[in-house]
A and B are shown apart, each in its own frame.
Chain A
């Protein structure tokens, strides 16, 4: 799990006009861009995070991937698609891809890559491309495997790498944060995740923090804390067959809390940025031996955004497809020589 919900890639709590505190002059003496910024804060980063989770336990949340189970020599590839609908004419779509690799039974490595496009129709602004890359390692600190249940706790640590761009511009100047594809810096990322699973139900939680250093040029997203929780129940088959491995239909209820600090634009604090958001998700998943597919709906239940005239997220939906692979086995390769 990376702790990034798919919705985060699309929705920026800081999506609003940016008002620069105090001075309108950049420390380097240059004037700030003269048009009103519309900043969607986290979209690119959250999207990348979605894709990168390792498997820790049995539960399989859709909106955060830090708890995805990944065994030794196993690879998980999760493809996500999430359209973005927000007020003030912001829309777009993101396609995060999460890759997990089990190095040992306790260590797993993850990478989240993200690409997509976003547009602010009212201002005829848009951007597209590759977003920042998230890479992290997960170590299972503690686990209890019982015949009827399993429980695991893991720590994660990694960073976002600036493969995107935080200084995309239009003819009118710097694009708003919602249209930037990166943070411009290497951003440390760490957290803890846990999962519990039994025959019919399971749960997962995580808590992560992303530190975003401030840059002197371009848009610098603020530091971000987020906490996610999930409960899932296997609804089908109604009666589990005595033998065999049936296809499972699972309902997952998930919550995502995100706290954002203040963004910076060209090194100066953006007043209309930051805040707290709580989203509620309902996801329907089908799971088999080699793949899993899910469709979810997301509803923002609290948007406490600081500043004025902030743009708010609308209800949305997302899709994901997950495929399990045996990783290339170098030990076996030697045996074939």
Chain B
């Protein structure tokens, strides 16, 4: 390979890969008017792969869920979360954001735990306490 070819190859290698997008889901809920209702939804989010954080808005009866970069979700999966928690799902909006756009958090944001211990008892304690 010529020196010019080597130089071009090095430049290409240093080019950052395309940034993975973050999936943000905004879902409206029917029938949730208390913190306990939002916890019911949270329990289902624990079982959804790739959920990073969730934001609860009581006045709007709305939940906003951010997934880990690169993880995708379908509206049907989100509907299932709400139905299995015992609530009737409302409109669902899905957006793709950059990591920078999701870095800001505020009131109502909660980190969703995903314990990784192989011991189910330890995993359960990590999840709840």
Q: Tell whether A and B belong to one assembly.
A: yes
Number of chain B residues whose Cβ lies closer than 8 Å to a Cβ of chain A:
42
Known: A244-B58, A244-B106, A244-B108. A146 touches B30 (CB 8 A): yes
Q: In whole angstroms, how far apart are the Cα atoms of A145 and B40 in the complex? A: 15
Contact flag A72-B39 (CB < 8 Å), given A147-B61, A197-B34, A245-B108 = no
Closest A residue to B28 by CB, please name it.
A147
**B36 and A245 within 8 A (CB):** no
Q: Distance in Å from the Cβ of B66 to the closest Cβ of chain A?
A: 15
* Number of A residues, CB within 8 Å of B: 46
> B9-35: which have CB < 8 Å to A?
28, 30-35
Pairwise interchain contact A328-B108, C-beta atoms closer than 8 A: no
Partner of A289, one of B31, B42, B60, B128: B42
A292 CB to nearest B CB, Å: 7
Q: Hey, what's the 0/1 contact readout for A94-116 against B, CB within 8 Å counting as 1?
A: 00000000100110000000000
Give chain A interface residues in 196-212, CB to chain B under 8 Å. 197-199, 202
Partner of A71, one of B35, B56, B86: B86
Q: State whether the Cβ of B71 lies closer than 8 Å to any Cβ in chain A.
A: no
> Is chain B's binding surface mostly helix, strand, loop or mixed?
mixed
Q: Could you mark each residue 66-78 of chain A with 1 if its beta carbon is under 8 Å from any beta carbon of chain B, else 0?
A: 0001011110000
Q: A202-B33, A336-B120 are in contact. Are A241 and B59 (CB under 8 A)?
A: yes
For B107, the chain A residues whose CB sits under 8 A away are 241, 243-245
Given contacts A71-B40, A244-B108, A332-B47, 11 further A-B contacts (CB under 8 A): A58-B37, A73-B44, A74-B39, A146-B31, A147-B28, A147-B30, A197-B31, A244-B58, A290-B39, A325-B128, A336-B123
Instruction: Using known A-B contacts A72-B84, A150-B31, A329-B47, determine if residue A289 contacts B39 with beta carbons closer than 8 Å.
Output: yes
- Residues of B near A32 (CB, < 8 A) are none
Given A240-B59, A289-B38, is A145 in contact with B31 using a C-beta cutoff of 8 Å?
Answer: yes
Q: Which residues of B contact A (CB under 8 A)?
A: 28, 30-44, 46-47, 55-61, 83-88, 90, 106-108, 110, 118, 120, 123-124, 127-128
5 A-B pairs with CB atoms under 8 Å apart are A69-B86, A199-B59, A241-B59, A244-B58, A336-B120
Q: Which residues of A come within 8 Å of B, CB atoms? A: 55, 58, 60, 69, 71-74, 102, 105-106, 140, 143, 145-147, 149-150, 197-199, 202, 240-248, 287-290, 292, 324-329, 331-333, 336
A245-B58 in contact (CB<8A): yes
Within the complex, the shortest CB–CB distance from A54 to chain B, in Å, comes to 11
Task: Please report the number of residue pairs spanning A and B whose Cβ atoms sit closer than 8 angstroms.
Answer: 135
What 5 A-B pairs come out closest when comparing CB atoms? A244-B107, A71-B40, A150-B31, A244-B108, A145-B31
Interface residues of A: mostly helix, strand, loop or mixed? loop
- Cross-chain contact B58 with A246 (CB below 8 angstroms): yes
Residues of chain A with a CB closer than 8 A to B60's CB: 242-243
Pair B38/A245 contact, Cβ less than 8 Å: yes
